[in-house]
Amino acid sequence: LTLDGVELRVLHIPLVAPFTTSFGTESVREVIIVRALTPDGDGWGEIVTSAAPLYSSEYTQGAWDVAQRFLIPALLDAHTVAPEQVAGILEPFVGHRMAKAGLELAVLDAALCAQGRPLGQYLGATVDRVPSGVSVGIQRDPQALVDTVAAYLDEGYVRIKIKIKPGRDIAETAAVRDAFGTIPLQVDANSAYTLADIDTLAELDRFDLLLIEQPLAEDDIVDHATLAGRLRTPICLDESITSQKAAADALALGAASIINIKAGRVGGYLEAVRIHDLCRDAAIPVWCGGMLETGLGRAANAALAALPGFTLPGDVSASNRFYARDIVTEPAELVDGHIAVPTGPGLGVEVDPVALDDFTVERVVVRR
């Protein structure tokens, strides 16, 4: 593939409702959309950073800078670039995995579109639709949470994940269990606890949760292993799993028995598949996480989640769970509790150029 240039845009897309986690509240999704410009057509990708470095160290303006200053010039310097070469070319630059992932996805989409090949087929998808879970933010009080969850269950979501933080955990989880009985339910703490909270975390054992996601800090691998020895609820890692190596280390230490895979967090969809393969060989269940993706990243997540090791429902929900208007012409829809894996070439979705322009607040083209 010959890369002539890369267009980057910062988008501001309003959310249908504020989304609150242990680290903050967002009402507008600030995200970077990538367009790889090639003689054989464009390819699209998404850099899933947030406006502030609260989930991880990356943030949108940081990704915007590193992509233009270092990553894109390195890709343009390589005369031609295959999708499988992107990670190696960008490897000298430490970190910035979400930025790398978005660039790799744009190159991958361009290459697959040129071959007429769907992303799902390329990654190894074995199903044509994936079961859809929904991530529910922290609400005003337990009753508001129950009302919100009820609406998602009515829509057909097959698994509920609720965000928790210290002081907003036991009562919330109890309220959802009491209201809806034995629904598939899990919680996500986004690193809000320490081992000093072990008694609170152990209280969650009585709710028969599918898992507790990332209770402790990103680098607390040993503490997660200690916690795993004290809880009956399976520990799932999100933030801590930044690469296949990090996944292998966490499993070796007994820090997790389930892994959330997000392509952005691990530097791309190809690294995501490597983590999937590692976990499949180790009989560790994985599921596909989300970063409030637009229709572009959401299509790619559906393709990834269709691999055989994704044995738990992911956070691949319908576009309208977050957005009243998407930037693709056919936003992901919930049908019978599932999201379809796109079948067209590449990402298999088309960008709506008017919507894209309407949400764009910054644009740049980096050329050779």
Q: In the range 13-72, which residues lie near ligand OSB by CB under 6 A?
A: 55
Tell whether residue 238 is a contact of Mg ion (CB under 5 A): yes
Considering the candidates 100, 161, 165, 262, report the single residue annotated as catalytic. Answer: 262
Stretch that binds ligand OSB, among 149-157, 176-184, 273-281, 288-296 (CB under 6 A): 288-296
The alpha carbon of residue 146 and the mean position of all alpha carbons in its chain are separated, in whole angstroms, by 25
Which segments of 231-330 does DSSP mark as H helices, in order? 244-253, 263-266, 269-281, 295-305
Our answer to whether residue 163 is catalytic in this structure is yes
Q: In the range 132-191, which residues lie near Mg ion by CB under 5 A?
A: 188
* Nearest distance in Å: CB 54, Mg ion: 12
DSSP for 53-70, written as a single string:
TTSSS--HHHHHHHIIII
Q: Are 82 and 89 a contacting pair, CB within 8 Å? A: no
Q: What share of the chain is helix, strand, coil (3-state, %, to 5)?
A: 40, 25, 35
Stretch that binds ligand OSB, among 91-99, 110-118, 251-259, 283-291 (CB under 6 A): 283-291
Q: How far from each other are the two terminal CA atoms of the chain, in whole angstroms?
A: 14
The 3-state DSSP class for residue 250 equals helix
CB neighbour class for 312 (10 Å; exposed up to 12, middle 13-18, buried from 19)? buried
- Measured distance CA(160)–CA(187) in Å, rounded: 8
Residue with Cβ nearer ligand OSB (129 or 368): 129
Does an H or E element contain 15, and which?
Answer: strand 5-21
Q: Which x/- pattern over 252-281 shows residues binding ligand OSB (rule: CB under 6 A)?
A: ------------------------------
Q: Which does 312 bind (CB under 5 to 8 A by kind): ligand OSB, Mg ion, none?
A: none
Tell whether residue 317 is a contact of ligand OSB (CB under 6 A): yes
Stretch that binds Mg ion, among 9-17, 88-96, 210-218, 305-313 (CB under 5 A): 210-218
Q: Which x/- pattern over 159-198 shows residues binding ligand OSB (rule: CB under 6 A)?
A: -----------------------------x-x--------
How would you write 128-183 as a 3-class SS string? CEEEEEEEECCCCCHHHHHHHHHHHHHHCCCEEEEECECCECHHHHHHHHHHHCCC
* Nearest distance in Å: CB 330, ligand OSB: 18
The 3-state DSSP class for residue 284 equals coil
Q: Which does 290 bind (CB under 5 to 8 A by kind): Mg ion, ligand OSB, none?
A: ligand OSB
Q: Which does 135 bind (CB under 5 to 8 A by kind): Mg ion, ligand OSB, none?
A: ligand OSB
Q: Which does 348 bind (CB under 5 to 8 A by kind): ligand OSB, Mg ion, none?
A: none
Our answer to whether residue 262 is catalytic in this structure is yes
Tell whether residue 293 is a contact of Mg ion (CB under 5 A): no
- Measured distance CA(332)–CA(213) in Å, rounded: 25
Residues known to be catalytic: 163, 262
Residues at the site binding ligand OSB, with contacts judged by CB under 6 A: 55, 135, 188, 190, 238, 289-292, 315, 317
